[in-house]
Amino acid sequence: MDLLAPIRISTLPPSSQQNDTPLLTAVPKPTGSPEAPTTPASISRSISDLDDILSILRSRPSPELLFRILDLLTTDAQPHSSYDIRTPTPKASQVVNTLLEITVPNFWNLLPKRERKQLAECLRSITGLGGIVSRLRFLSKGKGDTPSESSFNVQMEELFDLLHSVLRVEGFIHQIWEWGSHGSAGSKRIVAWKEFTSLIAGGKLLSVAAEADRLLDTDNEGAGRWIGNESLFTSWLGQEIAWASLKADITNEAEWKALDSVIVRALSLGHRDEFVENLSYPHIRPEGGLEKLHKLIFPLPAHNKHTYLASLLRKLSLKHLSISPEMYHESGWWKEDAAKVSSIAGLIGSLVDGDDDLRALVVEWLVGSQGGGIGEPIGIRRALIAILAKDAITLKGLFEKSLQHFSNQLWIKHAPILQQEVNTQVLLLCAGYVHRQMPAFMTRMARSSTFLNGISNRIGATSERARFLGMVVGESFSGLVDKEGSKMNFGVHETSTEEAKWWKGIPSIEDTVGSASGLLTPPGLIVSKKRHPTIQPKARMTSVIQVIEEVKEGGQEEEDDDDLVPYAKPDSDPEDSEEDAADVVRKRDTPPVYIRDLLSMLRDTESYDRQQLSLGSAASLIRRKAAFGKELTDHALELTSHLAGMHDKYDMDNFQEMRMQALIALVVSLPTIAGPLLAKLFFEGDYSMGQRAGILSAIGIGARELAGFKDDDLPLSIESAKGKSSTDLFPSKRLPAKGDAIWSKAKPRTPLERITSTLERLMIQPMAAEASDKAAGPNVIKVRVFSSRIEVEKKRAKPTENKLSKVVAEAFFFPLTGRWWAALKDYSGRGIHFTPFLLTSFLKTLGIILHATGPSAPALPQMTREIWEVTFSLRHTDEETVLEGLLFTLLTMLELNSEDGVGLARDHPKELVETQEWLGGIVIAGRGGSKVLGLASGALLRVDAIIKEFQRRVMGEIVRDG
């Protein structure tokens, strides 16, 4: 065949081609000196610059020649050398594009490990990273146009592997900077770094990788798929910036400025808490690390410092401080976490020292609009005040600001109760430090008009909780400055409870600023926390029979027993011939009997049987353990967090049902622990929208069960709710399953939607019946048989104790509303919590909790005020679903207060008038659908009835007194 191969092929121009002339003509090889052999070694010797490399790469070289080119581009490539492709130049861009378009698709899967590293090193530059992003974007668009093309999947997987090799090296950002420092200085270098910052921290790389990851098969997770995950990517970016700062020269201002530009852009990527954690913690262990962290944060703009500080405080609180209220019932409870508080103070103190802007932000965080970390444990405020207490002027300013907030009458009336509690903690902590350092100033402040007016305003407030805080602070201040016998004592039961003693003991807390190294968990513990518990392999059944022989003295041999007849050999079973009895595992898992066993089985995500068994028995085990010991309390935080974030890996039947039942059992068993924790996870946890909606459903249904309502027949998931409509009574009128799923108009509803629909009917139907009665005629002509009244009374449910009314404020309502206000101020109404679906679910959850509480709850006045604040903040919404949820909650609040409508009108006259005008505008304008108009009309009728009743009462008093 080699003899027939043409030496050269020539194509004639179209003008010279004739009908009888062949299109291809063989030209004989010219005679002369023989050509030199074109071996890889000879070609590599002739490579002198990037033009030669470019021509060879475009000609699809042999593997040996490609290896030689990779050697030239890595080992022999110095800045501005003939083989430099890292410095941004037009020729380097051409080589990079050729590597990505030709070399990677043809050779990546064939390259050995060493050559893969070399190819990744060639592309570890600003030019290379930009080329990979452009190539990935091009493939993503092509994949979207032709989804059947499997080649796009392969090429994108190869690019993800390549990106992983390029980025997953320790010190990637530092390498980019070091290589750029040898490049051209001045404006070119600044432009190049801006381009790199835009790629790595501006979202270009992340957005393109996330889009490509979405187009790829999710079941096939390659090495580089983490790049498209926002949380993992921001964590990696924080680690890389930390590594670069630790390697940077403390005197190289240009590099520090460049790293700050990356931080500023990265803080807008999202998942700030993960980014800040991975940026800050690596600086704790090395010597001089905190000094470099301070130098890294000091030049940031004020708003970026604020974002960094808020995220860091959230992470420190979550990782190191306990939120369990059980510790508050113990004397000296604050000493248990004093070491952690001291370490947190050491870390924050190293950043605050010498940075007046950050110090002012710490003060603002404690007493500003964010409320000093609403819902966070008191330990984080102890750490910050311990830092500020070193400066007497700052401490006095903080004390005066918190006292002004505490005494302000408008603030008492309108601030969320959780924010008032946090401010009270700050005030009492400051009072303790001020009393120890400046006793004369403390005495003067306790006699000031600001403090005395504040106590008066608190005692005269309509909120029971506001009055309690006023009495606690009054007795605490008096205990610090007054002598025995003249100390303030209100003489009520509320100030002698265990909770009141805890509040009055806050001024005695004295923390110190220690070393930040105490925050570092030993390496072994870190691994054990992050890694799933090791599942011990089950003992294999052995078929070897251990023979026990009796050894007789004197070496006598045992005589054969002729009387024993051996059993006949059993027939072989062909079905079992291929199965080794030694491999059969006969031990089966049993339901867990301890909470720690339940957690172990829930964590074992590799076993379907253990997952199903643990979920199926979780609810019953939690309810049993609620009455025995503290095992459930000790594991409540971990168990709740794990259940809230579980994924249905195996597509189990009734997965959501079992998970929801377990969460509801936790809420019912430990309302004061699980309730605030679930509220915290809803607003701060890294969960999907479905998981967040499940958290709200668990809170709402659990609260109803505490109040005595039974929702046993309520579907706890959308999947189980499908088909539960009136058409189930007539199966012949239903389409087949697939057709019904497509054409059915009745969409499955969430548990919250089903509950709210029932409650809406219960509240609106009586008003409709009353209106129809008025239209039908006077009540005198309506006769009711006496026997029917007896039957109705027999069927009436007996009253039961409403356990919810005792704990609703601290366990459910105030944690939800307080964190909602904090999220509104943090995210300006643009976070995931304010999407129409979640916001509607949140509002309906508040309404459900309010309805279950009943009209006799002690905290009803305070909850009424909070509902009105939320209503007025959302009344201008354009989303129909949000408006529906808002009107449902408002109608529920008005329904509960209808028995004391005069008191409601007396305490909230302005709110009632504004609500009347707003509801009237909705009805007149016809906003929303029939459901919205029905709820608005019902609420308007209630408001009108309350106002008319109040007017009649006022007119009656005027006539009587006149």
DSSP notation for 544-611: PPPPP-PPPGGGPPPPP-TTPPPPPPPPP-GGGTTS-GGG---------SSHHHHHHHHH-TT-HHHH
* Residues β-bridged to residue 10: 25
- Give per-residue pLDDT as tens, 498-543: 888 889 999 999 999 998 888 885 433 333 333 333 333 333 333 3
User: 228-237, 399-408, 432-441, 547-556: which range is least confident on average?
Assistant: 547-556
Q: Output 535 or 605, whichever has higher pLDDT.
A: 605
pLDDT at 718 over 70: no
Give the H/E segment covering residue 11: strand 9-11
What is the separation of C-alpha 132 from the centre of its chain, rounded to a whole number of angstroms? 31
Please name which of 502, 408, 507 lies closest in space to residue 451, comparing C-alpha atoms. Answer: 408
The least confident of 204-218, 301-315, 424-438 is 204-218
Task: Tell me what percent of the residues of the chain surpass a pLDDT of 90.
Answer: 21
Q: What is the mean pLDDT of residues 262-288?
A: 89
563 falls in which pLDDT band (50, 70, 90)?
low
Q: What is the mean pLDDT of residues 446-456?
A: 91
Domain spans, the chain: 327-518, 595-722+746-751, 804-961
pLDDT of residue 507: 92
Is 935 within 8 Å of 887 (Cβ atoms)? yes
By mean pLDDT, which of 418-427, 545-554, 875-884, 945-954 is the weakest? 545-554
Which of the residue ranges 192-196, 364-368, 647-651, 812-816 would you say has the lowest mean pLDDT?
647-651
Q: Name which residue leads in pLDDT, 164 or 42.
A: 164
Backbone angles phi, psi at 815, to 5 degrees: -60, -40
By CB atoms closer than 10 A (0-12, 13-18, 19+), residue 137 is: middle
Q: What is the pLDDT of residue 831?
A: 77
DSSP string of 189-207, one letter each residue: HHHHHHHHHHHHTSSHHHH
pLDDT of residue 234: 92
Q: What is the pLDDT of residue 473?
A: 93
Q: What is the pLDDT at residue 531? A: 32
Q: How far apart are CA 703 and CA 32, in angstroms?
A: 99
Higher pLDDT, 77 or 621: 621
Q: State percent of the chain over pLDDT 70.
A: 75
Is residue 849's pLDDT more than 60? yes
Q: What is the mean pLDDT of the chain?
A: 78
Alpha-carbon separation of residue 27 from 2, 9, 11, 249, 580 (angstroms): 16, 7, 11, 67, 72
Asked whether the predicted pLDDT for residue 200 surpasses 70, the reply is yes
* Alpha-carbon span 95 to 93, nearest angstrom: 5
- Can you spell out the DSSP letters for 448-502? SHHHHHHHHHHHT-S-HHHHHHHHHHHHHHHHHHSPTTS------GGGGSHHHHH
User: Does the pLDDT of residue 127 top 90, yes or no?
Assistant: no
In this prediction, residue 327 has a pLDDT band, given cuts at 50, 70 and 90, of low
The 10 Å Cβ neighbour count of residue 323 is 17
> Which pLDDT does position 462 carry in this prediction?
80
Model confidence band, residue 61 (pLDDT cutoffs 50, 70, 90): confident
Looking at CATH, the fold of the domain delimited by 595-722+746-751 is given as: 1.25.40
State the pLDDT at residue 557: 45
Q: How much is the pLDDT for 180?
A: 67
Q: How high is the pLDDT of residue 175?
A: 85
Q: Between 658 and 371, where is the model more confident?
A: 658
Least confident of 261-265, 532-536, 620-624: 532-536
More confident residue, 39 or 319: 319
CA Rg value for the chain: 37
Facing residues of 9 across strands?
Answer: 26
CB 666 within 8 A of CB 636: yes
Count of H helices and E strands in the chain?
46, 2
Q: What is the pLDDT of residue 27?
A: 47
Q: What is the pLDDT of residue 532?
A: 33
Does the CA dihedral 448-451-457-460 come out positive or negative?
Answer: negative
- The residue-averaged pLDDT of 775-802 equals 56
Phi, psi (deg, nearest 5) at residue 301 = -60, 160
| 236-245, 449-458, 727-736, 841-850: range with lowest mean pLDDT | 727-736
Q: Confidence band (pLDDT; 50, 70, 90) for 549?
A: very low
131 close to 89: Cβ distance less than 8 angstroms: no
- Model pLDDT, residue 221: 58
pLDDT of 842 above 70: yes
- The region of weakest confidence among 315-329, 717-731, 742-756 is 717-731
Element (H, E) at 399: helix 392-407
294: phi then psi, degrees, rounded to nearest 5: -65, -40
Q: For residue 790, is pLDDT > 90?
A: no
596 compared with 565, residue with greater pLDDT:
596
pLDDT at 540: 37
Q: What is the pLDDT of residue 556?
A: 46
Q: Phi first, then psi: give them for residue 386, nearest 5 degrees.
A: -65, -35
- For 900-918, the pLDDT digits (tens) are 888 888 888 888 999 999 9
Asked whether the predicted pLDDT for residue 24 surpasses 60, the reply is no
Q: Is the pLDDT of residue 621 over 70?
A: yes
| Tokens at 682, concatenated | 């809803």
Q: Is 9 helix (H, G, I), strand (E, B) or coil?
A: strand
pLDDT at 243 over 50: yes
pLDDT at 460 over 90: no
Bridge partner list, 24: 11
Q: What is the pLDDT of residue 43?
A: 52
pLDDT of residue 158: 85
What whole-number distance in Å separates Cα of residue 913 and Cα of residue 603? 54
pLDDT-based confidence at 328, cuts 50/70/90? low
Classify residue 731 by its DSSP letter: G
pLDDT(559) > 70: no
Average pLDDT of the residues in 645-654 = 82
- The per-residue pLDDT for range 910-953, each reduced to its tens digit, is 889 999 999 998 888 888 788 888 888 888 988 888 888 888 88
Q: 634 falls in which pLDDT band (50, 70, 90)?
A: confident
Backbone angles phi, psi at 24, to 5 degrees: -115, 135
Least confident of 394-408, 757-771, 861-875: 757-771
Confidence at residue 577, expressed as pLDDT on a 0 to 100 scale: 46
Average pLDDT over residues 618-636: 86
Cβ proximity of 464 and 412 under 8 Å: no
